[in-house]
Structure 1
Amino acid sequence: MNARLNPDLLEATRLTRAGQLAEATALIQRALGGGIVPPFAARGESARRSDTSQAAEPALEGSCRVVDIGPFIADPDERPAQRDCDDAALASGPAARQPFAPASGLGAALHEKLFKFRGPLPVFEPDIGGGVPDALPDGARFITGSFTNPAGTRSYKLYVPSGYHGQALPLVVMLHGCTQNPDDFAAGTRMNELAEKEPCLVLYPAQSAGANPSKCWNWFKPSDQQAGRGEPSLIAGMTREIAASYKVDAGRIYVAGLSAGGAMAMTMATTYPDLYAAAGVHSGLPHGAAHDLPSALAAMQQGSKRTAAPASAASRPVPIIVFHGDRDTTVHPRNGEQVIGQCVASAARPGSSGAGAKPRANVQRGQVPSGRAYTRTTYHHAEGAPQVEHWTIHGAGHAWSGGSAHGSYTDPQGPDATKEMLRFFLAHAGEQKPASSTGSPA
Structure 2
Amino acid sequence: MTKMNEEFLASMREAMELLRTAGPLEATGFIQRALRGIDAGAQPRAQPETRVQPAQVVEALLPRPAGAERPAAREETRVRPDKAEHAPHGDSHGAGHFSARTYANHAGQRGYKLYVPGGDKGRPMPLVVMLHGCTQDADDFAVGTRMNALAERHGFLVAYPVQPMTANPSRCWNWFNPADQQRALGEPALIAGITREVMASHQVDADRVYVAGLSAGGAMAAVMIQAYPELYAAAGVHSGLPCGSAHDLPSALAAMHGGKMGAGAGAAEAGPRRPLIVFHGDADTTVHVSNAGRLLLAFEGGVSLDGKPQRSRGGRTFTLRHLTSPDGIDAEYWLIHGAPHAWAGGSARGSYTDASGPDASAEMVRFFLAHPMRK
Name the TM-score class by shorter chain.
0.7 to 0.9
2:261 match: secondary structure: coil
1:304-327 Cα offsets, whole Å, 9 max, x none, are 43352343989x820000000000
Does residue 372 of the first structure (1) align with residue 316 of the second (2)?
yes
**Offset of 1:219 from its aligned partner?**
0.3
**Residue number among 353, 358, 361 corresponding to 1:415 in the alignment:** 358
What's the TM-score, normalizing by structure 1?
0.69
Structure 1 residue 121 corresponds to structure 2 residue 62: no
Q: Show the counterpart of 2:5.
A: none
Q: Give the drift of 1:126.
A: 1.8
Question: Given that residues 278 and 425 in structure 1 are in contact (C-alpha distance below 8 angstroms), is that contact kept between their aligned partners in structure 2?
Answer: yes
323, 327, 336: which one aligns with 1:393: 336
Q: Equivalent residues in 2 for 1:35-434 (5 A)? A: 42-43=37-38, 46-48=41-43, 94-96=50-52, 114-115=63-64, 118=65, 120-122=67-69, 124-126=71-73, 130-131=75-76, 135-136=80-81, 138-307=94-263, 308-311=265-268, 317-342=273-298, 363-369=307-313, 371-380=315-324, 387-431=330-374
Unaligned runs of 5+ in 1: 26-41, 52-89, 103-109, 346-357, 433-442
Q: In 1, Cα distance between the equivalents of 2:219 and 2:303?
A: 24
Q: Note the alpha carbon deviations across 1:266-287, whole angstroms, 9 max, x for none.
A: 0000000110000000000001
Cα distance change on mapping 1:3 and 1:428 into 2, 3 Å: closer
2: distance between equivalents of 1:335 and 1:402? Answer: 21
Distance 2:160 2:191 in 1: 10
**C-alpha distance in 1 between matches for 2:300 and 2:160:** 28
The one-letter amino acid of 2:253's match is: L
Post-superposition shift, 1:198?
0.7
8 Å contact kept, 1:133–1:183: no
Q: Per the alignment, do residues 245 and 296 of structure 1 end up closer, same or farther by CA in structure 2, a change over 3 Å counting?
A: same
CA distance 1:172–1:372, change in 2 (3 Å)? same
Which amino acid is the alignment partner of residue 156 of structure 1?
Answer: Y
* 1: CA distance, partners of 2:112 / 2:338: 33
- Provide Cα deviations, 1:316-349, integer angstroms capped at 9, x if missing partner: 820000000000000000001111114556xxxx
Q: Does the 8 Å contact 1:164/1:199 carry over to 2?
A: no
Letter in 1 for 2:268: A
1:13 aligns with 2:29: yes
Task: Structure 2 unaligned segments of length 5 or more: list them.
Answer: 1-12, 82-92
Which whole-Å deviations, capped at 9, do the CAs of 1:153-206 have from their partners, x for residues lacking one? 000000000134442000000000000000000000000011111110000000
Task: Work out the percentage of aligned pairs sharing the same amino acid.
Answer: 47
Name the CA distance, whole Å, in 2 between partners of 1:368 and 1:176. Answer: 24
How far apart are the structure 2 equivalents of 1:124 and 1:331? 24
Structure 1 residues 387 and 11, CA gap change in structure 2 (3 angstroms): closer
Q: Is the CA contact (8 Å cut-off) linking 2:163 and 2:173 kept in structure 1?
A: yes
Hey, what does 1:85 align to over in structure 2?
Answer: none
Secondary structure of the structure 2 residue equivalent to 1:302: coil
Larger radius of gyration: 1
- Following superposition, the deviation at residue 386 of structure 1 comes to 6.6
Distance 1:14 1:260, change over 3 A: closer
The answer to whether residue 40 in structure 2 is matched with residue 24 in structure 1 is: no
Contact (CA 8 Å) 1:271, 1:312: kept in 2 or not? no
> Using a 3 Å threshold, how does the CA distance of structure 1 residues 3 and 265 change in structure 2: closer, same or farther?
closer
Deviation per residue, 1:349-372 (Å, 9 max, x gap): xxxxxxxxx999983421013510
Q: Higher mean Cα deviation, 160-169 or 282-291?
A: 160-169
Q: Does the C-alpha gap of structure 1 residues 151 and 381 become closer, same or farther in structure 2, counting only changes over 3 Å?
A: closer
Instruction: Please give the alpha-carbon distance, in whole angstroms, between the structure 2 residues aligned to 1:3 and 1:293.
Output: 12
Instruction: Say if 1:303 and 1:44 are closer, same or farther in 2 by CA, change over 3 A.
Output: closer
Q: Which moved more, 1:142-151 or 1:361-370?
A: 361-370
Distance in 1 (alpha carbons) for counterparts of 2:77 and 2:112:
13
| Deviating more after overlay: 362-371 vs 256-265 | 362-371
Give the counterpart letter for 1:121 in structure 2. Answer: A
Partner amino acid for 1:410?
T
Tell me: CA distance 1:361–1:368, structure 2 relative to 1, closer, same or farther (3 Å). Answer: closer
Kindly indicate whether the alpha-carbon contact (under 8 Å) linking 1:360 and 1:379 is maintained by their aligned counterparts in 2: no
2:87 aligned residue: none
Q: In 2 relative to 1, CA 334–182 (structure 1 residues): closer, same or farther, beyond 3 Å?
A: same
- SS where residue 322 of structure 2 aligns? strand
Q: What TM-score comes out, normalization by structure 2 length?
A: 0.81
